[in-house]
């Protein structure tokens, strides 16, 4: 039986953040306070390609803080790619914790299809 799921991503898992950065060949995330244009943000800092300021994730609330000046200081698609990678990695972590296997297939439109086999069955 197939189920299509759409996910609103809250970034709360440090392991999945690191895995997403590794997956996308980004610098390893760091903890701390980062300067944005006119403010600072504290949390897990992720440097995205071509972005003037980093994205900062508060893993307690799941929320992101960033300033890409409506795309002038960094393309939104870079954040979207990170969030997609995070969602994939978090899904894989949680499925494997429950003994399930996960297969991944990239789609022509840039989406990623994950198939979770319950109990590890193929």
pLDDT in tens, 44-82: 999 999 999 999 999 999 999 999 998 999 999 999 999
Task: Break the chain into its structural domains and give their ranges.
Answer: 14-117
Residue 5 has pLDDT above 90, yes or no: no
Sheet holding 40-46, edge to edge: 30-35, 40-46, 55-58, 63-65
Instruction: Tell whether pTM > 0.85.
Output: yes
Q: CA-CA distances (angstroms) from residue 51 to 2, 12, 67, 76, 78?
A: 38, 22, 9, 9, 8
Residue 118 has pLDDT above 60, yes or no: yes
pLDDT in tens, 80-111: 999 999 999 999 999 999 999 999 999 999 99
- Give the residues across from 33 on adjacent strands: 42
Whole-number Å distance between alpha carbons of 99 and 25: 28
């Amino acid at each position: 039986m197939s189920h299509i799921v759409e996910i609103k991503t809250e970034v709360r898992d440090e392991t999945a953040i690191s895995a997403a950065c590794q997956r996308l060949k980004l610098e390893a995330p760091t903890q701390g306070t980062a300067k944005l244009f006119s403010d600072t943000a504290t949390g897990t800092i992720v440097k995205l390609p071509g972005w003037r300021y980093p994205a900062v994730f508060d893993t307690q609330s799941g929320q992101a803080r960033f300033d890409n000046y409506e795309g002038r200081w960094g393309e939104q698609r870079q954040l979207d790619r990170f969030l997609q990678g995070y969602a994939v990695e978090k899904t894989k972590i949680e499925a494997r914790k429950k003994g399930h296997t996960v297969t991944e297939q990239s789609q022509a439109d840039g989406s990623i299809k994950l198939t979770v086999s319950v109990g590890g069955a193929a």
